[in-house]
């Protein structure tokens, strides 16, 4: 009994000695946590007090793992933009500082994924694999870090590549009324980047869930999701997510640009972005200006689109090409938001509802569309075959309007109108069917030489397809020459013209026989 008592006593002594040693060696590390509380909750925003050290656009954490951005820093309270479902929040709940700005995961693991602006996956393919995060708001590259835009970004759309060329690093606005094909042009451009070594980021801002699902399904069916990142906010998401979405998508695209890669980003569309910002600003009691938008709405979009550029060789020669989309109302391109973006971007592609109703697709109004980079971002072969095409098309549209009054027209004017109708027929193009560069150049050369003028309008779709097939048969050496040559030499021009003549010969013979039968 005594031996057992001694053993138990030693065990107690050893245990307490160990505890005393651990207690003496322990040095508590105190961490300072600033905690405030909610004063009030409104649609998409919260008023918070008790966080004197918070900074502008710092992340705050709310109960239920809901995050927000400090947007208004006032003396007595903070206006916070909420980034999640806030139905369970109420006045008095605690709010905690996170000590960093809003950021998003970046990296190759995002390619082929559908995510929200916070980097959370929406496609059911498991968690994202990412080793780096970047702030969603970043300074744009300095002027000396940029290079001229001189490399074309082929859209695969004939009317754009020929008449309104887009270069890698350019910002080209797409605008038009509802349901005129704005998203279709952006999707065609994404589809045409297959095997062009261009990564794509599609940012859906406040779109209907069904519309976003259709876009994702199209990208997947066409194999374009393999080189595309999709960033999504739906119409029923909080306005804070719609506000953050384009900045988050741009940070993802910038990561790839800084790796020396060429990236295309589509913002679909910035009308919803501007409205979300207006909603947040008015709820936060910021003073309204024109059309109730706050005065800094121009800065909102300019600091976003200035991040699109072509970096110089020292920084890897990567590029970020931006295609922002804007919705106009009643063809009013002089409204506040459209004029802001027209002045920020390097040109615009305007889609006309009148042309859309006439079945002229894509409904690009060549007279109101422009690329301020122009021929510098166009291959020499295009400049050689499409130099006078825009002028001829614009003249045709003016004369066509005049001819509707029933005036008598001379033979020269009639020929101009007939030639213009062939131009319009050749520039029409089905959705999701981008045309390769060599096929476009063959068709445009045949147009510029007026080879289509002898063909009836009813036969134009088949004749244009025949010329495209002839262009597709060019050898790899000929295609490489068209891509890289400084000018279209006479021998190549003659060879292409002969291909086009051979392809059109059956249609011209049919037209001649029809005329003879009519006589």
Q: Coil, strand or helix: which one is 412?
A: helix
Residue 492, CA distances (Å) to 197, 475, 496 in order: 27, 12, 6
Strand intervals (E) in 238-329: 262-268, 319-327
Name, in order, each residue with C-beta under 8 angstroms of 377's C-beta and a sequence gap of 6 or more.
149, 150, 151, 152, 153, 165, 166, 167, 168, 170, 371
Q: How many CB atoms lie within 10 A of CB 395?
A: 15
For 129-192, the DSSP string reads: --SEEEESS-PPPPGGGB----SB---S-HHHHHHS--BTT-B-EEEESTTSSHHHHHHHHHHT
Q: Are 427 and 389 in contact (CB under 8 A)?
A: no
Residue among 359, 370, 499, 368 at smallest CA distance from 429: 359
Size of the chain, expressed as the number of residues it contains: 519
Task: Establish whether 372 is a catalytic residue.
Answer: yes
Q: How many CB atoms lie within 10 A of CB 164?
A: 23
The rounded distance, in Å, linking the Cα atoms of 77 and 85 is 22
DSSP 8-state assignment for residue 321 = E
> Which is catalytic among the residues 278, 372, 383, 421?
372
Residue 510, CA distances (Å) to 37, 424, 425, 466 in order: 82, 22, 19, 14
Residue among 410, 134, 375, 81 at smallest CA distance from 250: 134
Q: Which helix (H) or strand (E) holds 206?
A: strand 198-207
Question: H-type helices in 205-266, by residue range?
Answer: 209-221, 239-258
Residue 263, CA distances (Å) to 20, 187, 204, 409, 484 in order: 62, 14, 17, 49, 21
- Cis omega (within 30 of 0) for bond into 362: yes
The rounded distance, in Å, linking the Cα atoms of 385 and 374 is 15
User: What are the residue numbers of the active site?
Assistant: 372
């Amino acid at each position: 009994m005594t031996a057992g008592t001694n053993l138990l006593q030693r065990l107690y002594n050893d245990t307490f000695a160990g505890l005393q040693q651990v207690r003496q060696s322990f040095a508590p590390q105190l961490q300072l946590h600033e905690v405030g509380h909610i004063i009030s909750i409104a649609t998409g925003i919260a008023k918070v007090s008790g966080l004197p050290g918070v900074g502008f656009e710092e992340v705050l954490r709310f109960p239920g793992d809901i995050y927000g951005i400090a947007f208004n820093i006032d003396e007595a309270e903070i206006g916070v933009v909420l980034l999640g479902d806030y139905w369970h929040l109420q006045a008095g709940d605690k709010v905690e500082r996170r000590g960093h700005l809003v950021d998003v995961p970046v990296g190759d693991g995002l390619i082929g994924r559908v995510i929200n602006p916070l980097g959370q996956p929406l496609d059911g393919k498991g968690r994202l694999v990412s080793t780096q995060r970047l702030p969603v708001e970043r300074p744009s590259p300095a002027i000396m870090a940029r290079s001229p835009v001189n490399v074309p970004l082929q859209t695969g759309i004939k009317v754009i590549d020929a008449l309104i060329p887009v270069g890698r690093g350019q910002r080209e606005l797409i605008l038009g009324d509802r349901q005129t094909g704005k998203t279709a042009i952006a999707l065609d451009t994404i589809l045409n980047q297959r095997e062009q070594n261009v990564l794509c980021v599609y940012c859906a801002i406040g779109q209907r869930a069904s519309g976003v699902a259709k876009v994702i399904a199209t990208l997947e069916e066409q194999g374009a999701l393999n080189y595309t990142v999709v960033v999504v906010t739906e119409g029923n998401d909080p306005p804070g997510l719609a506000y953050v979405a384009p900045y988050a998508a741009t940070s993802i695209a910038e990561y790839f640009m800084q790796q020396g890669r060429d990236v295309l980003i589509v913002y679909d569309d910035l009308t919803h972005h501007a409205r979300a910002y207006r909603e947040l600003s008015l709820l936060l009691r910021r003073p309204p200006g024109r059309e109730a938008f706050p005065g800094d709405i121009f800065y909102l979009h300019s600091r976003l689109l200035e991040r699109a550029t072509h970096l110089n060789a020292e920084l890897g020669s990567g590029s970020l090409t931006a295609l922002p989309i804007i919705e106009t109302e009643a063809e009013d391109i002089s409204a506040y938001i459209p004029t802001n973006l027209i002045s920020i971007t390097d040109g615009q592609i305007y889609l006309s509802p009148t042309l859309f109703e006439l079945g002229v697709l894509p409904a690009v109004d060549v007279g109101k569309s422009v690329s301020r980079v122009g021929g510098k971002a166009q291959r020499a072969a295009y400049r050689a075959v499409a130099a006078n095409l825009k002028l001829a098309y614009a003249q045709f549209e003016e004369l066509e309007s005049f001819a509707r009054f029933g005036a008598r027209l001379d033979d020269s004017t009639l020929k101009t109108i007939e030639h213009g109708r062939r131009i319009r027929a050749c520039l029409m193009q089905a959705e999701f069917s981008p045309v390769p560069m060599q096929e476009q150049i063959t068709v445009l050369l045949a147009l510029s030489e007026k080879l289509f003028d002898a063909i009836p309008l009813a036969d134009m779709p088949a004749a244009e397809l025949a010329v495209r097939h002839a262009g597709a048969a060019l050898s790899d050496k000929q295609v490489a020459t068209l891509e890289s040559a400084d000018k279209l030499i006479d021998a190549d021009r003659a060879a292409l013209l002969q291909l086009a003549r051979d392809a059109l010969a059956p249609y011209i013979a049919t037209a001649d026989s029809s005329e003879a039968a009519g006589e």
